[in-house]
Amino acid sequence: MFDQIWAVFACVASFAMCALVVYFLITGRHDRDREEEAREFFDAHGYWPDEGPTP
């Protein structure tokens, strides 16, 4: 009985890990690209894009 429960758990866990890998492949590196653009904006203007200029 315990072996069957463990086998079902292993199958569900492996499916979840495969789904997680596919999710990361689909979403890509968009967050890193946005961070790089924000850093370039900061270097050019001296403040972060979401903060606005200091008076």
**pLDDT at residue 19, as a whole number:** 97
> Has residue 15 been placed in a domain?
yes
The amino acid that residue 8 corresponds to is V
Number of domains in the chain: 1
Domain that holds residue 38: 2-45
Under a CB-based contact definition with an 8 Å cutoff, are residues 53 and 47 in contact? yes
Q: What is the pTM (predicted TM-score) of this model? A: 0.53
**pLDDT at residue 28, as a whole number:** 79
pLDDT at 54 over 70: no
Q: How far is CA 28 from the centre of its chain?
A: 8
> Has residue 24 been placed in a domain?
yes
> Has residue 8 been placed in a domain?
yes
**pLDDT at residue 27, as a whole number:** 85
> Has residue 53 been placed in a domain?
no
> Has residue 12 been placed in a domain?
yes
Beta-carbon contacts of 45 under 8 Å, excluding residues fewer than 6 positions away, are: 53
> Has residue 20 been placed in a domain?
yes
pLDDT in tens, 4-53: 999 999 999 999 999 999 998 888 778 888 899 999 999 999 899 888 77
- Quote the CA–CA distance of 36 and 16 in Å, as a whole number: 31
> Has residue 55 been placed in a domain?
no
